[in-house]
Each structure stands twice: as C-alpha cells, then as structure tokens.
Structure 1
C-alpha cells in the first residue's frame, strides 16, 4: 500500500484519504464531502479516493474509523489510570482539555458524522461500534470505583463530557474553553455526586 512520509511517521494512502475527508467535513460540512474534493485536498490523482472508498457509505465509514483513531490519541497513553481518585480526575481533565484546545476540528467532524448517522442506519451501526472504545473503559472505571449503577453513571459522565465539548466547540461557550483546573473541579463534583462524598480526591 502506498504511504506518505510526514516527519518520522508514515501515513498510509487510505489514512491520507480519510484525513482529507475529515478536513473537508470540518471546513465545508457534509455537502462538501465528495470523492473529487477528497482527491483535490489530499493532492492525489483523480479517482484515487474511489480506489479506497468506492461508495459514499464506504467513504463515511473510513472517516468514522479515522476519527476514532485520532480521537484516541487525546486519551492518556495506556488508557485511564487505575490509581486513586486524584489520578483519575487529573487524567480525565487533561484528556478533555487536550481535546478542546488541540482537536476542536475533530469535534466538528464528529457532529457532522453523528447527524448523518441519524439518516443512515448502516452508518449508525458503524458509528456506534467505534464509540464503544471510549465508553467501555469509562464503564470499567466506574465499576472499579464502586458505582452502584455503573452503566447509568457512565452515561451521565459521557453526556457531561459531550455537552461540554459541544458548548466549547460549536455552542455558546466556544470563546471560553475551561482550563484544566476548572475541568478537574467539574469532574470532582460530578463523580463525587455519583460515588459519594468519601470518594472525592483530597
């Protein structure tokens, strides 16, 4: 498979295509995502994108897959820590802050793809499957922390993060991204309410 070298890393042609698709989604929205536009943005010969994603559905799936890969880079290396509350809160706050300050274009892509998935059942299934890589570690953390209802608490935690990300990326707080200290306070308050006052980091 053809690759492109960037610094010390090598990116496959398929990833180049998917990255170009994400760039178009962030800049132009779903209507701007075409095979020809991806070829042009990626600097590839006309028809190259069709070799890797022959249909629009396969192009959208490639974008979702690549989005999940790039989002995962914002998570702590090796996953969420298994230590105490202080380490967990710090890791969650750092990951969310890193996402909000360095990966905001990926959030826009996520919303574009999520809305499209509501209209394409086949994409919805694919989109949901990639999302499990983020929910399942949180479920494990909530279970290990002693949550009486880990699935419900995981939903609340994810919803809080999603709401904050939308507000800061596309909503009324897009000009005021919270700092890590504010995010640590927010996570502490949220988790303390779920797990009890004895859980809060000192």
Structure 2
C-alpha cells in the first residue's frame, strides 16, 4: 500500500521527514547530512545549517516522528471510557490499523531510532520523553476506565501494540497484516481481561 506523504510547511519539517524516510529505507548508516540534502532536493549544506551535528539531526527526527504518529493515530484525545468498552476498543483498533496499513515507514524509522537510543544517552532521554506523551494518557485512560492496576494494564496494552506493530512491520506477519475487525477482536479481548464487564452503553461484547 502506498505510504501517505506528510504535509510539509517548512524546511525543518522537510529535513526531518527526509531523515525518517532514509532511516526506513537505508537504516542508521544511511542517514547523513549529505544524504538528506540529496534526497530532499536541497542545496548542499542545508541540513547541516539546520542540524549542526548528527545528534541534532536524530533529535529532529524523533520530534517529527512523534508529531506525525500523534496525527496519524488520531489519539491526541483518548477515547472516553464513559462511552463504553466498544468505543474504546474501536478507537484503539482503528489507530493501530492506520499505523500498520499506511505508515510502515514510520514504524521502521522508529525501530532504528529506538535501537540508536540504547547507545546514545542524550537520544534516550528525548526518545523516552516522547514516549511518555502516549504512555501517560493511556495510564489516565485505564484509570478512568476502572482499571485496578492502571500502570500495569497500560504497560500490557502498550506491549501488545508494540508486538503487533513489530510483527506486522518487520516480523513474521509483515505480509499478513490483520484487518481492522481482527484488531478490534484482539484489543477487545485484552481490555475485557483487564477491566471485566462494565455496565452502561457499549459494554457488550466486542468483535
């Protein structure tokens, strides 16, 4: 499936988007200032003027990745548990389906950056801070949904998400991406095991 091209409004975004594309296509070794200039069609030295060091270029890539993933997932505002388990399940499954079917390049770039963060303490700090932008709202969501252990349940949900994304982007299921209904079933099973049956609208079985 063709990858959606992000809307670009500035040269810094173009540079960061190109860096992410190079990470997905060539890996960490293929990311250089000159390579970004060439791939982006910019005059030589443009990327160096924006991000003087490799560390600065990696930081720009992480920050842009976070912004694009937040927009793509559509979870800037978490679902409201008051709407019921079905609504929560549907929103989370839809976000995952978008990631798996239209943004494999972002997933591959993220894995490259995550591995590099294990070797660069300064990048680790930036990467972890970015991750908290999704983790903390998810903990709040599980708390509001009545979880008896929101931190642990958020971790389990994130681990399930991460496992699905890796398996379908770079693992054994890269050619067998589940459809949205299958993802709904998986998310629903996980949420029901954590939260149990809840009264009110949308609390019935999810498929």
The TM-score range, normalised by the shorter chain, is: over 0.9
Query: What TM-score do the two structures reach when normalised by structure 2?
Result: 0.90
Report the number of matched residues. Answer: 195
Aligned positions of 1:1-202 closer than 5 A? 11-76=9-74, 79-82=77-80, 83-198=83-198, 201-202=204-205
Report if aligned partners of 1:65, 1:130 keep a CA contact under 8 Å in 2. yes
Query: What TM-score do the two structures reach when normalised by structure 1?
Result: 0.92
2-structure distance, mates of 1:49, 1:201: 53
1:79-124 per-residue CA deviation (whole Å, 9 max, x = no partner) reads: 2221211111100011100110000110000000000000001100
2-structure distance, mates of 1:166, 1:143: 27
Unaligned runs of 5+ in 1: 1-6
Report if aligned partners of 1:188, 1:201 keep a CA contact under 8 Å in 2. no
Equivalence for 1:3 = none
After TM superposition, the runs of 4+ consecutive aligned structure 1 residues lying more than 3 A away are 197-202
Please give the secondary structure, in 1, of the residue aligned with 2:42.
coil
Report if aligned partners of 1:25, 1:112 keep a CA contact under 8 Å in 2. yes
Please give the secondary structure, in 2, of the residue aligned with 1:74.
helix
